[in-house]
């Protein structure tokens, strides 16, 4: 179950008119009188699928499937609402949905097949890249779903583009019957409602009089429309609101109309009345209609356009469909998108309440006087906000709204603003002044006389509204006063920037952080507004010269997203059997698109089932003095509280014995489990857990890497870990140049869509069955057995599927299963635990933050001679997997470059954060990033293009890595050359150079980055897999293996392997689940090894059966069917069951002796990316990405390409967007040790809007890998680092901006500069010094804060 943003996974549609909404935030009682449609209602596996469901499944748009129902409903709602859907509209239909697996491209392709303008999609159907049939590598066309024509394509390179899919896909059947609108609702007449529940009374009045009567009777009642704020408060802040009122049928609050000048005494212009309960979608549609209709003069629409600009990026479609403007005002969020618009335009609010005579009295108030303090407004007891009146703009009055967030789509603002000025021609101002002087017998004011010499315009009035700069939405009053009467020119704006600094004197301790960035954004918005207004006036206003050079116009450019396109290219190999190598869909896709696929929390509750919630530490480091659960135990529905004293077995988890299941004496981080509460419902358990009182004696806390280094706080070997090759000291002495630097990489939240969850079901004789969302069933049963004090053979763990894992469920999931099992064993009742999103993020660990210090020696021709690197990882408070994570970082410190002398040293820092853990790449991306930072530094020091330096030093076949492993079948140069050719790299460079010369405030950059990723568990014993294969008498095949399915398509590949080995169709093979009583002692599904080890185990099991069947098969006629063969085999008493086992040969590196192969083989890839950066805000857009990936002979090209796209998108988040913020010395506005970025409200992963506009994937052809099943290669982790191509393309764009600044000022800001990861908007903007940052006093090399 997903908390806070449940629409990520589950959507609902209200039909008539159709609109989608967020289930978790919407009260069912509020939909009285509506027709509600769910994903189950539009289609299912028994009655047939809706075309939406079919397309998403067929286009490989579902991997883990947890988000799929919500995505299906978002598309369905858009199609129901939009009879003529367009490519562009469909591209924007998913702004309220997230997916962590797919990379979004296949979902968008599926959606576009419904577009009426699909034929206008750009791109070619087939890439002309092949040779001849004689070469066995000619090209063909295949539309990338399993029904496509693969026969006869052996040895062919297949290319499928977005355009070719749209041309080939079946069109939506317009005659298909949709769900009919219920007859009962066609003539539905609403009535007043008063529904009393056990804890809440719900009112729905029909008139304003009725509404104010209820509010007078219940002055503390909450008025809710979309429930978007109250829903959050009740769920996460445990607020109680016994009376709720829905005003959506009160006519005055639903008004939306234009009013002529004079209708409102406060305005001399036309205005628009907006009812407080009108949905944001309705406002958007109405305003858009007014602007586009031509009924209004363009100069009158400024206020409407400002609102529309903010609504474009306001939350999501699901929220806009139910959220209202009144809620946006009354909640008084300091980072509101709309409030700055109402502030800047001097809008008026209307309130209503009953007076002493019982009549309705109205009160009007300017918005500027409404906000009193943080979340406090001038709304009096018993009063109702009725409407807001928005004035239209007049001639020479300009309004513009701005917003910058961590992500454009569905994100709250860092800073939002609306700026308004009213100008007056200086000639007109002078005439007025002369007339006044003549009438009063005085002289013309000196300021006006000075302006007359300049010409242009004078500022009559200015009002600037901001969000994110104060504890309320606020006006920049000092700046406004300063501007009045001044000339509208660049000098005035530059001076106004300094005044903004006085209006908003933020500092390091300001809540929200990012003080310098927020101030800089205010200045940037002002400059953008200045350019925007100058463009509108279109007159010469500075001494007869054009106001702005042409390149300055780029300041106002906004990111417009055209329709994205992509191409997927792969090869079908003649050596592969029919089933293997075919791009078949994920075997669960058709269940996932209908919502029928079951996850742990979807399982029907078992008899007498209980629910549990963790009791967590709120102290980063301290001794536990007392635990008092008495208040919690007295609460309704609570069945028990269990802590360390209640554990019958070992209170110990983890591989190293350094972690307790429940803290007994000492807590080491905020979020450490101290106990578990069990209750009748999940809600009761969560609320009761908050009532357990714990007293601590606080101890000193280490909160980041720098603190750990200072205190010498390490995990693992205290001396650290070292890999060394050659003589680095001598290498530096022989180098012509030496540079030193530092690179920091922030942590990353897994953000699997299904949070940690488990169900413990006790049975007789101490048995326990665990149904878990885990990558590690074997460790789960071991940990549960230890906690219960029983043997492992009495515990079974079963895994059907996970809603994502990415490494986060490799070890951390077992703790929650064990906690539930302890309670279940004690109470003899089933216990389920499902973590809320904020709890999951705060307690279960993330990707390790790293700090790398490097020293590089090299010659002037670019030859690398020596590298000395120190890696420090933030491990959290206990070991978990931090040591092998650090090891992999050290193994990958060379990336693809041969450096004869390397010294790589690393330490795992022990800090008072939750133990950080495995995450896709497992330390590899961090080590690779430090390597590329060093390469980038060298290139800038030499003035050499980065791609030239990289190619010069790239590994060659047969060379050895720094850990002494010989590289065989090293394909990185082939992949590099193919990628360079596909993108026409030099041409792209020239395009960027031309663009950058023409645009001062928009810059483009390109980068091409290679990767080498080692494949194996670095712990030798884990490189093993098992499988069990049964064939039943009807010929059907049941496969069980040691791997778990988390969306990566492992089960699908195993089905293909089994079908290929047995020579049967894939439909004959089924995998039900992973279970420890079927295949014991399994390795975790991790390290990208699962297809290799389990595939070989499945293959060997099938081989055994095939060998047994061969004599019988040979004795039968050739046309004997499979079913007949198996039937006869049964009667011949042939064993139709087999167990397969596989261990990876020749792996196991020993750090003590620095010997042994670290990996079984390596995967290689190359990525090119082109980006465009807004220099003034730090926002960026990925224009194009091309990836060439070596996957050997692909077991399933569709799944492998899906993994590449998904990993790349996750890497995009790691390197450019996703930022963990912890309470530490850099973030003093937070409580020490607490995680600020909890939940999707504060933590942002890439969305549909972040997909590269052109996204091309090519699987390297003719690259078989003899070391894995069917010559394939691992795919889950290797592509992730390729997203660093975006990071380094961004860095190139920043370098272009810095070069411009150097030309302007000669301040030397070009050349090498530090850009830490992730390259957020803050880091990008602050790396681009300009006259605005200089005016604010920001140092040229300012480095934003970070949690490392």
- CA dist., res. 323 & res. 283, Å (int): 11
Angle between helices 985-998 and 972-983 (to 10 degrees): 50
Question: Which residues carry out catalysis?
Answer: 1277
Label residue 102 left, alpha or beta by phi (over 0 means left) and psi (-120 to 50 means alpha).
Answer: alpha
- CA dist., res. 924 & res. 847, Å (int): 11
Q: CB within 8 A of 198, min separation 6: which ones? A: none
The DSSP bridge partners found for residue 159 are: 141, 569
From residue 189, how far is each of 182, 206, 227 by CA, in Å? 14, 11, 23
1012 and 1189 in contact (C-beta within 8 Å)? Answer: no
Place of tokens 């009144």: 326
- CA dist., res. 752 & res. 917, Å (int): 14
1226 and 1153 in contact (C-beta within 8 Å)? Answer: no
**Mode of pairing for the β-strands spanning 831-834 and 610-616:** parallel
The DSSP bridge partners found for residue 405 are: 413
1235 and 1220 in contact (C-beta within 8 Å)? Answer: yes
Q: CB within 8 A of 659, min separation 6: which ones? A: 652, 653, 878, 879, 880, 915
- CA dist., res. 769 & res. 167, Å (int): 50
Collapsed DSSP state (helix, strand, coil) of residue 843 = helix
In angstroms, what is the C-alpha Rg of the chain?
A: 32
From residue 1036, how far is each of 1030, 1031, 1101 by CA, in Å? 8, 6, 15
Four-residue CA torsion sign, 34, 39, 43, 45: negative
Place of tokens 């700090």: 851
Four-residue CA torsion sign, 1234, 1238, 1242, 1248: positive
Place of tokens 């883990």: 64
Q: CB within 8 A of 870, min separation 6: which ones? A: 852, 853, 854, 905, 906, 907
- CA dist., res. 774 & res. 757, Å (int): 8
- CA dist., res. 1222 & res. 874, Å (int): 12
Helix boundaries (H) for 696-799: 705-711, 728-734, 777-788
- CA dist., res. 672 & res. 694, Å (int): 13
989 and 1106 in contact (C-beta within 8 Å)? Answer: no
Does a cis peptide bond (omega within 30 degrees of 0) precede residue 686?
no
Of 50, 62, 174, nearest to 109 by C-alpha is 62
- For residue 536, the tally of other CB atoms under 10 A from its CB is 16
Supply the DSSP symbol for 653: B
Does a cis peptide bond (omega within 30 degrees of 0) precede residue 1318?
yes
Place of tokens 């919407």: 26
- CA dist., res. 420 & res. 396, Å (int): 11
- CA dist., res. 1049 & res. 1054, Å (int): 9
The DSSP bridge partners found for residue 195 are: 202
- CA dist., res. 172 & res. 149, Å (int): 22
The DSSP bridge partners found for residue 1163 are: 1013
């Amino acid at each position: 179950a997903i908390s806070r943003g449940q629409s990520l996974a589950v959507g609902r549609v209200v039909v008539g008119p159709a609109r989608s909404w967020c289930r978790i935030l919407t009260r069912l009682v509020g939909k009285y009188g509506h027709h509600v449609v769910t994903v189950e209602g539009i289609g299912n596996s028994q009655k047939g699928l809706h075309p939406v469901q079919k397309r998403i499944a067929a286009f490989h748009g579902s991997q883990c499937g947890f988000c799929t129902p919500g995505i299906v409903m978002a598309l369905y709602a858009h199609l129901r609402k939009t009879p003529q859907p367009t490519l562009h509209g469909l591209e924007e239909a998913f702004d309220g949905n997230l997916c962590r697996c797919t990379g979004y491209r296949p979902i968008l392709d599926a959606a576009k097949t419904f577009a009426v303008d699909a034929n206008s999609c750009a791109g070619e159907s087939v890439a002309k890249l092949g040779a001849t049939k004689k070469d066995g590598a000619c090209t063909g066309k295949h539309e990338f779903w399993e029904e496509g024509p693969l026969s006869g394509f052996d040895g062919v390179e297949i290319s499928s583009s977005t355009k070719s899919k749209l041309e080939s896909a079946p069109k939506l059947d317009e005659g298909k019957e949709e769900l009919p609108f219920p007859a009962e609702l066609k003539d539905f007449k609403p009535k007043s409602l008063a529904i009393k529940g056990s804890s809440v009374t719900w009112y729905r009045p029909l008139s304003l009089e009725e509404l104010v009567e209820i509010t007078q009777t219940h002055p503390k009642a909450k008025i809710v429309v979309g429930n978007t704020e109250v829903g959050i408060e009740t769920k996460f802040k445990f607020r109680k609101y016994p009376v709720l009122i829905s005003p959506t049928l009160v006519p005055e609050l639903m008004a939306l109309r234009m009013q002529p000048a004079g209708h409102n005494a406060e305005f001399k212009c036309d205005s628009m009345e907006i009812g407080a309960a009108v949905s944001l979608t309705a406002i958007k549609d109405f305003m858009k209609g007014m602007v586009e209709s031509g009924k209004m003069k363009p100069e009158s629409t400024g206020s409407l356009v400002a609102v529309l600009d903010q609504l474009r990026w306001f939350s999501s479609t699901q929220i806009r469909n139910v959220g209202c403007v009144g809620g946006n005002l009354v909640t008084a969020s300091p980072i509101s998108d709309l409030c700055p618009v109402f502030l800047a335009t001097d809008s008026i609010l209307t309130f209503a309440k009953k007076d002493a005579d019982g009549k309705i009295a109205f009160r009007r108030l300017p918005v500027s006087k409404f906000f009193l303090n943080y979340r406090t407004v001038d709304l009096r007891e018993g009063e109702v906000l009725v409407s807001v009146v928005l004035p239209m703009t007049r001639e020479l009055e300009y309004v513009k709204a701005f917003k910058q967030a961590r992500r454009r789509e569905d994100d709250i603002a860092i800073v939002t603003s609306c700026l308004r000025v009213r100008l007056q021609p200086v000639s007109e101002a002078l005439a007025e002044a002369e007339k006044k002087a003549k009438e009063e017998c005085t002289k013309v004011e000196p300021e006006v006389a000075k302006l007359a010499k300049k010409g242009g315009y004078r500022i009559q009035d200015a009002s600037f509204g901001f969000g994110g700069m104060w504890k309320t939405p606020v006006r920049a009053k000092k700046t406004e006063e300063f501007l009045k009467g001044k000339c509208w020119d660049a000098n005035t704006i530059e001076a106004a920037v300094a005044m903004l600094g006085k209006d908003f004197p933020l500092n390091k301790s300001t809540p929200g952080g990012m003080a310098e960035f927020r101030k800089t954004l205010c200045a940037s918005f002002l400059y953008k507004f200045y350019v925007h207004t100058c463009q509108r006036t279109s007159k010469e206003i500075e001494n007869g010269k054009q106001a702005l050079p042409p390149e300055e116009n780029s300041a106002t450019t906004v990111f417009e997203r055209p329709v994205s396109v992509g191409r997927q290219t792969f090869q079908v190999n003649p050596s592969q059997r029919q089933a293997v190598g075919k791009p078949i869909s994920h075997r669960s896709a058709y269940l996932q698109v209908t919502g029928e696929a079951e996850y742990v929390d979807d399982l029907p509750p078992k008899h007498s089932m209980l629910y549990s919630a963790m009791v967590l530490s709120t102290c980063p480091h301290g001794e536990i003095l007392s635990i008092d659960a008495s208040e919690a135990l007295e609460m309704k529905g609570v069945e028990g509280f269990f802590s360390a004293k209640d554990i019958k077995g070992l209170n110990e988890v983890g591989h190293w014995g350094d972690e307790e299941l429940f803290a007994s004496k000492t807590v080491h981080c905020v979020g450490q489990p101290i106990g578990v509460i069990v209750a009748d419902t999940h809600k009761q358990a969560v609320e009761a857990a908050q009532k357990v009182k714990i007293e601590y004696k606080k101890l000193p806390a280490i909160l980041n890497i720098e603190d750990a280094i200072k205190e010498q706080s390490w995990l693992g070997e205290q001396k650290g870990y070292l890999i060394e090759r050659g003589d680095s000291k001598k290498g530096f002495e022989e180098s012509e140049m030496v540079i030193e630097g530092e690179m920091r990489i922030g942590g990353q939240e897994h953000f699997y869509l299904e949070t940690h969850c488990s169900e413990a079901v006790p049975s007789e004789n101490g048995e326990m069955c665990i149904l878990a969302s885990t990558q590690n069933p074997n460790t789960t049963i071991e940990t549960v057995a230890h906690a219960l004090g029983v043997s492992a053979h009495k515990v079974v763990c079963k895994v059907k599927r996970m809603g994502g894992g990415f490494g986060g469920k490799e070890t951390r999931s077992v703790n929650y299963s064990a906690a539930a099992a302890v309670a279940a064993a004690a109470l003899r009742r089933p216990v389920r635990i499902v973590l809320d999103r904020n709890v999951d993020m705060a307690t279960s660990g993330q990707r390790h933050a790293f700090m790398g210090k490097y020293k590089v020696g090299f010659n002037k021709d670019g030859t690398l001679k020596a590298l000395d690197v120190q890696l420090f990882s933030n491990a959290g408070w206990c070991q978990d997997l931090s040591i092998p994570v650090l090891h992999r970082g050290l193994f990958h410190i060379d990336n693809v470059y041969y450096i004869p002398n390397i010294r790589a040293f690393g330490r795992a820092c022990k800090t008072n954060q939750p133990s950080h853990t495995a995450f896709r790449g497992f330390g590899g991306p961090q080590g690779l990033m430090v390597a590329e930072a060093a390469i980038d530094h060298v290139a800038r020091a030499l003035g050499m293009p980065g791609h030239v330096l990289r190619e010069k030093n790239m590994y060659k076949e047969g060379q050895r890595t720094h850990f002494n492993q010989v590289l065989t079948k090293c394909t990185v140069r082939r992949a590099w050359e193919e990628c360079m050719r596909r993108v026409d790299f030099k041409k792209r460079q020239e395009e960027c150079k031309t663009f950058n010369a023409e645009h001062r405030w928009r810059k483009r950059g390109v980068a091409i980055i290679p990767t080498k990723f080692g494949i194996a568990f670095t712990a030798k014993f884990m490189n093993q897999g098992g499988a069990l294969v049964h064939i039943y008498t009807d010929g059907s095949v049941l496969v069980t293996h040691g791997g778990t399915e988390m969306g990566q398509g492992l089960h699908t590949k195993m089905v293909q392997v089994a079908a290929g080995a047995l020579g049967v169709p894939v439909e004959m093979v089924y995998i039900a689940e992973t279970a420890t009583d079927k295949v014991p002692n399994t390795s975790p599904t991790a390290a990208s090894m699962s297809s290799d080890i389990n595939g070989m185990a499945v293959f060997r099991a099938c081989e055994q059966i095939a060998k047994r069947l061969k004599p019988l098969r040979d004795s039968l006629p050739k046309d004997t069917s499979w079913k007949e063969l198996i039937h006869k085999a049964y009667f011949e008493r042939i064993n139709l069951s087999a167990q397969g086992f596989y261990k990876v040969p020749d792996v196991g590196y020993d750090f003590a002796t620095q010997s042994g192969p670290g990996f079984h083989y390596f995967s290689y890839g190359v990525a090119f990316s082109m980006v465009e950066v807004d220099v003034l805000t730090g926002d960026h857009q990925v224009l194009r990405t091309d990836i060439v990936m070596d996957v050997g002979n692909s077991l399933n090209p569709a799944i492998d390409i899906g993994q590449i796209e998904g990993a790349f998108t996750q890497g995009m988040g790691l390197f450019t967007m996703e930022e963990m913020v912890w309470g530490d010395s850099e973030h003093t506005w937070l409580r020490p040790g607490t995680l600020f970025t909890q939940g999707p409200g504060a933590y942002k992963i890439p969305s549909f809007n972040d997909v590269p506009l052109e996204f091309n994937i090519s699987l390297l052809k003719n690259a078989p890998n003899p070391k894995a099943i069917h010559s394939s290669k691992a795919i889950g982790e290797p592509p992730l680092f390729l997203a660093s191509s975006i990071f380094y393309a961004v860095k190139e764009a920043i370098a272009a901006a810095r070069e411009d600044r150097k030309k302007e000022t000669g301040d030397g800001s070009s050349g090498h500069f530090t850009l830490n990861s992730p390259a957020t908007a803050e880091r990008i903007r602050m790396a681009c010094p300009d006259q605005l940052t200089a005016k604010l006093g920001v140092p040229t090399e300012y480095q934003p804060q970070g949690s490392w």
